[in-house]
Structure 1
Amino acid sequence: MGNRAKKVLHAVVTEYLGSGEAVGSKTITRRYNFDVSPATVRSVMGELEELGLLRHPHASAGRVPTERGLRYYVDSLLRVRGLSGAEKEGIQNHFVGASDVGDVVERARDVLREMSHLTVVVQAPRIDSDTISHLEFVKLREDQLLAVIATSAGNVQNKAVQIDFSLESGELERINNYLRELVAGRTLAEIRARVAAELEDERTRHDQVKARALGLASVAVPEHHRASLIVDGQSNILSVAESVDGARTLLRALEEKEFILKLLDRTLQAPGICVFIGAEANLADLTDVSVVTAPYGEENRPVGTIGVIGPSRINYAKVISLVDFTADVITKALPKL
């Protein structure tokens, strides 16, 4: 695509995102200082339409971007607007005094909803993908232990475990010492795999402490843990949607949280910001929708995702910066808890 065509497409998308109306060649020529006539701009717009980047709405002389046009704009033409110092400080101040992981997630949800005026989705930290920092068994009764599992993101889970054997003096301490080495720096998924492999090892059967430690770990370590989802700000959809029918469809899709979780699972595997436009989001066959997400947590081991959902006509330059910075603040807040 030539430079003139890129400039015209950028201008059309910018106007459309601001007004929601079809954009004509005269508007482009007048507002964007093109040194060519409206007829020339109109001709370029026609070429962009043939490429599938613009379309002609019914009963309108102007054009609007297609999903493909918006995709090209976001990928190749958009200049992301960095947040101001005051905006960054406002977001950071929201997290001052956060007491635990749940508190951090709720504050992130609130600040992103207030600043984006869109619907916010937060995938709470997934303990499966989080590094385990502590696994210990505490004696409750002769036949019962309490398993305490803590993660680097601040998640803590307790589980009562029944035992059918008597612990010898100092045996529980030896079990905990062995497990401390076993879990160090590993995720729950990795620990489950390691425990299964060790239990299959013939040598384990001849080591009582090791066998009991692995047996306890296999019971205490939870199976696959489905991340919880927080959705907030649904009322914002009513104020930004292009139509009432579109708003209703999107609200129904948000009720089917499985759609959202599958989408966020995809973004958890991708580095940095993800932008889904229209059908890319795969949200109940919706087309007038956009989703902007970012993972949070360690760079190589993200534990959750935060993002916003709105119509395809959102302020991408601002929203991308908001989501990206908020995810970064969450990442920095988690280890301090």
Structure 2
Amino acid sequence: MSNDRRLDVLRAIVTEYVHTREPVGSKVIAQSHDLGVSSATIRNDMAVLEEAELIYQPHTSAGRVPTDKGYRVFVDQLRTLKPMSLPERKAVESFLSQSDSLDDVVTRTVRLLSQVTRQVAVVEYPALVREKLRRVEFVDLAPTNILVIVVTESGRVEQRTLVLVHPFSAEDLNWVRSRVNAVAEGRDVTEVHEAFDTLADEAPAHLRDGVMMMTEAVSDLLESTAESRIVLAGISNLARGAVDFGDIAPVLDALEEQVVLMRLFSELNQDDDVHVTIGEENPHDALTQTSVVTGTYRTTDSPFAARAHLGVVGPTRMDYAKTMSYVRAVAAYLSRFLSQ
């Protein structure tokens, strides 16, 4: 018996089961897939696949269903992913190109992935180890209330409201804004700390306490851009597919807490193009009923580059080829966005 044909039978079972959620019989494969053999021959192949624990029969007289091991063999045989069609690619690029900041592109990305895959989408903000400052703004809210806004070179925006001991005039605020941007623009958090060490000494005596508070706030906000955080969308997709889970509650709990996903991302090989973990392969109990398809996006290959992950969480009965293709394509787009 041909090993290639056996794999063709496995692919047919996975494909049919993913689209119908019904156990797949030999007659369906013979009619729907041009394998060039009879349904009797296909039944023999299925018996071998079942003995190898790649498929199983959920009940007597039923067709066959892939196991986690069967899905793994199927995914490993996807040597090349079918690229998105030109209309699909244009639609993705058009939707994401409307983003004008990192927050916007992350929000759009997670919405897009959840819509096109009909699963839960997860996007991690890049941990920009050496994120650099583009601009600082100080907005006068009240005589002693100042809004500090930090804009990084990636377009990320962080802000904080300060209550000063002494009021700052418009002229005072302009002086601080000018000096802070002059010494800090284009620098990372370590360099900003060093630049601010002497800035308070330059300030007029009546401004020094306020200047110290404002520069500390800028440093803190810039440092916070290196903290990992994730955004999710499409949890309702998972709930609608609850029939695919024995118990969906642990999965929903894990997604809500997000800690499991952060751990999963931290354990990934960051050089992987697209990585798939299936069922029991997931190291965390809450995800053993799911498959997780992840990709990595980055600015450059520099050790200090922006780097993060995105992915899709769904049942093991998943359209792997489509999901992997979208994850890879969107990760590539995010890499281009950050590099620009």
State the TM bucket, normalised to the shorter chain: 0.7 to 0.9
Given the alignment of the two structures, is residue 333 of structure 1 paired with residue 321 of structure 2, yes or no?
Answer: no
In 2, Cα distance between equivalents of 1:307 and 1:72: 20
Q: Distance in 1 between matches of 2:90 and 2:244?
A: 35
The 1-side partners of 2:111 and 2:98 are apart by 15
CA distance in 1, matches of 2:94, 2:136: 35
Cα distance, 1:102 vs structure 2: 0.6
TM-fit CA distance, 1:48: 1.6
Report what 2:143 is aligned to.
Answer: none
Figure out how many residues of one structure are paired with residues of the other and give that number: 309
CA contact (8 A) 2:299 2:336 kept: no
Q: 1:253 to 1:176 in 2, by over 3 A?
A: closer
State the distance in 2 between where 1:58 and 1:265 align.
39
Aligned twin of 1:204:
none
> Does structure 1 residue 308 correspond to structure 2 residue 312?
yes
- How far residue 243 of structure 1 moved from its aligned partner, in angstroms, is 4.3
Q: Counterpart of 1:242 in 2: which secondary structure?
A: helix
Which residue is 1:87 aligned to? Answer: 88
Question: CA–CA distance in 2 between the matches of 1:264 and 1:67?
Answer: 21
Separation in 2 of the partners of 1:129 and 1:60? 57
Q: Provide the rounded CA distance (Å) in 2 between the counterparts of 1:39 and 1:8.
A: 12
Question: Do the aligned residues in 2 keep the contact of 1:22 with 1:60 (CA within 8 Å)?
Answer: no
CA pair 175-226 structure 1, distance change in 2 beyond 3 A? closer
Secondary structure of the 2:311 match is strand
Give me the TM-score of the superposition, normalised by structure 2.
0.72
Where 2:263 maps in the other structure, the secondary structure is helix
For residues 24 and 223 of structure 1, the distance between their equivalents in structure 2, rounded to whole angstroms, comes to 55
Amino acid at match of 1:28: I
CA offsets per residue over residues 120-166 of structure 1, 9 Å max, x none?
1111x33443543569999xxxxxxx999764423355788x9xxxx
RMSD over equivalenced CA pairs, Å: 4.1
Q: The residue matched to 1:231 in structure 2 has which SS?
A: strand
- Residue 54 of structure 1: how far off its partner (Å): 1.6
Q: What's 1:113 paired with? A: 114
The separation in 2 between residues aligned to 1:37 and 1:308, in whole angstroms, is 37
Q: How do 1:169-180 and structure 2 match up within 5 A?
A: none
1:78 positional shift: 6.2
Deviation at 1:66, TM superposition (A): 1.0
CA distance in 2: counterparts of 1:130 and 1:241, whole angstroms = 42
Aligned 8 A contact 1:279 1:285 in 2: no
Question: CA deviation digits over 1:280-331, x for unaligned, max 9?
Answer: 2334344331111212222423432222111111111111121222222222
Structure 2 stretches lacking a partner, 5+ long: 139-146, 165-177, 202-214
Gaps of 5+ in 1: 139-145, 163-172, 199-207
Residue 105 of structure 1, CA deviation: 0.8
Q: Secondary structure at the match of 1:40?
A: helix
Q: Provide the residue aligned with 1:126 in structure 2.
A: 126
Task: Indicate whether 1:298 and 2:302 are aligned.
Answer: no
Greater mean deviation of Cα atoms: 29-38 or 254-263: 29-38
Corresponding position of 2:322: 318
Change (3 A) 1:136 1:108: closer
Q: d(CA) in 2 for partners of 1:147 and 1:269?
A: 34
8 A contact 1:109–1:122 mirrored in 2? yes
Query: What does 1:3-14 correspond to in 2, within 5 Å?
Result: 3-14=4-15
3-state SS of 1:121 partner = strand
SS state at 2:267 partner: helix
Which deviates more, 148-157 or 12-21?
A: 148-157
CA contact (8 A) 2:275 2:294 kept: yes
Q: Is the 8 A contact 2:120 2:313 kept in 1?
A: yes
Counterpart residue type for residue 306 of structure 1: L
Shift of 1:106: 0.8
DSSP 3-state at the match of 2:227: coil
Q: Which residue of 1 aligns with 2:21?
A: 20
| SS of aligned partner of 1:95 | helix
The separation in 2 between residues aligned to 1:60 and 1:122, in whole angstroms, is: 43
Change (3 A) 1:151 1:287: same
d(CA) in 1 for partners of 2:295 and 2:58? Answer: 33
- Residues 258-282 of structure 1, C-alpha deviation per residue, up to 9 Å, x if partnerless? 0011112234723321112112233
Aligned pairs for 1:121-200 (under 5 A) are 121-123=122-124, 125-132=125-132, 151-156=152-157, 191=190
* TM-superposition CA deviations, 1:55-94 (whole Å, max 9, x none): 2213343221111110111111465332111111111121
1:46 aligns with 2:47: yes
Query: How far apart, CA to CA, are the structure 1 residues paired with 2:116 and 2:74?
Result: 23
